[in-house]
Structure 1
Amino acid sequence: MEPAQLDRTPFADLDRMPPDMLAMLVAALEAMSRHPEIRRVRDIAWQALRPEPGQRLLDAGCGAGDMARELAAAVAPGGEVVALDYSAATLAEARARHAGGAIRYVTGDVGALDFEDGSFDGVWCERVLQHVDDADAAISELARVTRTGGRICLLDTDWASLAFDGVDGTLAGTVLGHLHGRLTPRQRDMGRTLRRRLLDRGLTDVRATPVTCFFPDPASAAVVLPMVNHDVPEESWMTPAGVRDEWLAQVDTAGARGDFLAVLTIWVATGTV
């Protein structure tokens, strides 16, 4: 079966990436997982999912496995986490970081899950749906494999909410325009659509929380926002000649003045099957 993945984002098919690029992206995922603003988003999602000992949970799109490890600790004793990712290379990184706990690592497509109906007590799916071709089909699959009364927790970005201050507005508009031009409307707005998608799939007790992440300096922003990160290769920008260097120079100058600001909304949406 053809994977329900898009070729337009770096995370769509990690197995086709050169090893050095894969290592950079895995390192970026790990840095993001430690960022205080991402931790704040995850704390809100954690309270919504409410993992408990003895549960069987699915981490759909587990990346390097940091959340799978936390979930495994929460469902012990007697529970299990299935850490699923489309990328075999990413799963290998997750296995290498395994530090105990009942975690089963599985390659798979969130749009066509190879699990029986109602086989999980809950699902965690973080910043995955913006990278798949059919988010509704994926959510339907997540609901199918969750038992009646189980919870689904979705976290995703609203890239259209990204804004900056302290830098030239016209130049910021150019950078954001190229970002938005490379993303489909679904990718730009995924976070804000999660509530509707859960309702459309028939889930109940649906709740959605917008979490505005605040980055007061370029170093903090660069962990989460690639367009502020000097280490992102120039060929990844796809902007007119000179735009990258001029933009990053402005970001650095604003950081030195102390008036740089970036904000981005990530949504947490949960529902009961």
Structure 2
Amino acid sequence: MTDPRPTSAFHAANADPAVTGRLVAALDSQAANAGVRRLREWAHARLAARPGERALDVGAGTGSETQVLAAAVAPGGSALGIEPNAGLREVAERRAAEAGSSAGFRDGDALALPLGDGEADLVRCERVLQHLTDPARAVAEIARVLRPGGRVALLDTDWHTLLLHPVEPAVGAALATVTRATAATPDAGRRLTQWLTGAGLTVDQAGADVLLHDPRAVTWPIVKGLGQAAVARDLITEEQRDRLYADLAAAAEQGAFHLSVTMFAVVAHRPE
């Protein structure tokens, strides 16, 4: 399956409908994380969507946050989720319909948003910029569609803050290399303010939260994904990988497993 648009490598790698289920499960798991919930609520509160406004959710995923925006801008407003993955878009549309939400969804790209200049009252964009090779261009595109006085909330992960315990130092270094290679811009979280001011927007507030995983259960999808990738890159041996898995499982039995990463959020506005 090919896509001629200037989209991200992440989108290209996950465009196959066969991986939709895995993506949905991952997004649902992330949405259930207490840190993600807190930071999303923090950003929504500061975006302060109002009835009658036009909201845009860039990288809508399963559409949960587009639904939040739709409820906030009702009556009289609209909330449009931009999602290039057809499988995720279908899930978002179905879930919105089941919830009776007015949220709408459309195919699109962060580098070429399907709105005219100044048409949006507010824009939300979560964990998209880390997957782009030119995130500054995407933020400039967000600034273009914002009306004067319009607000934007950017939320993104900084993968340089990933912590895993227990792990041998050499294996930890290999996993860090793999982690940073999975995102086009792995330090996106710390650069949100830079991109917003570079696009001519005024930063209002910044926040962050540490996404902690359950210390009693190894987050195997993440851990095994990292371990397998490290072996495939010849960064660690299969024996080192298996020992890592055993050490983490033993730690979880004692409630001592640790996996965390920091996510940042910045809210800004377009000057009048």
Q: CA deviation at 1:18?
A: 4.7
Q: In the alignment, residue 149 of structure 1 is paired with which amino acid? A: G
Q: In the alignment, residue 55 of structure 1 is paired with which amino acid? A: E
Name 2:198's counterpart in structure 1.
200
Aligned length: 262
Q: Does 1:63 align with 2:58?
A: no
Name 1:262's counterpart in structure 2.
259
Q: Does 1:6 align with 2:8?
A: yes
Q: Bigger CA drift: 247-256 or 205-214?
A: 205-214
Gapped runs of 5+ residues in structure 2? none
Q: Secondary structure at the match of 1:188?
A: coil
Q: Does 1:227 align with 2:222?
A: yes
Q: Secondary structure at the match of 2:89?
A: helix
Q: CA deviation at 1:234?
A: 7.3
Gapped runs of 5+ residues in structure 1? none
Cα separation, partners in 2 of 1:249 and 1:86, compared to 1, 3 Å: same
Q: CA deviation at 1:217?
A: 1.2
Q: CA deviation at 1:212?
A: 2.1
* Paired residues of 1:198 and 1:206 also in contact (CA < 8 A): no
Q: In the alignment, residue 222 of structure 1 is paired with which amino acid? A: T
**TM-score normalized by structure 1?**
0.87
Runs of 4+ in 1 over 6 A off after TM superposition: none
Alignment of 1:96-115 (within 5 A): 96-98=94-96, 99-115=99-115
Q: 1:81 aligns with which of 79, 82, 95?
A: 79
Report the aligned-residue RMSD.
2.3
Q: CA deviation at 1:182?
A: 4.5
Q: Bigger CA drift: 93-102 or 194-203?
A: 93-102
How many angstroms apart in 2 are the aligned matches of 1:190 and 1:218? 29
* Paired residues of 2:39 and 2:207 also in contact (CA < 8 A): no
How many angstroms apart in 2 are the aligned matches of 1:133 and 1:148? 28
Q: CA deviation at 1:172?
A: 2.1
How many angstroms apart in 2 are the aligned matches of 1:202 and 1:180? 29
* Paired residues of 2:39 and 2:208 also in contact (CA < 8 A): no
**TM-score normalized by structure 2?**
0.87
What percentage of residue pairs aligned between the two structures are identical? 33
Q: In the alignment, residue 172 of structure 1 is paired with which amino acid? A: G
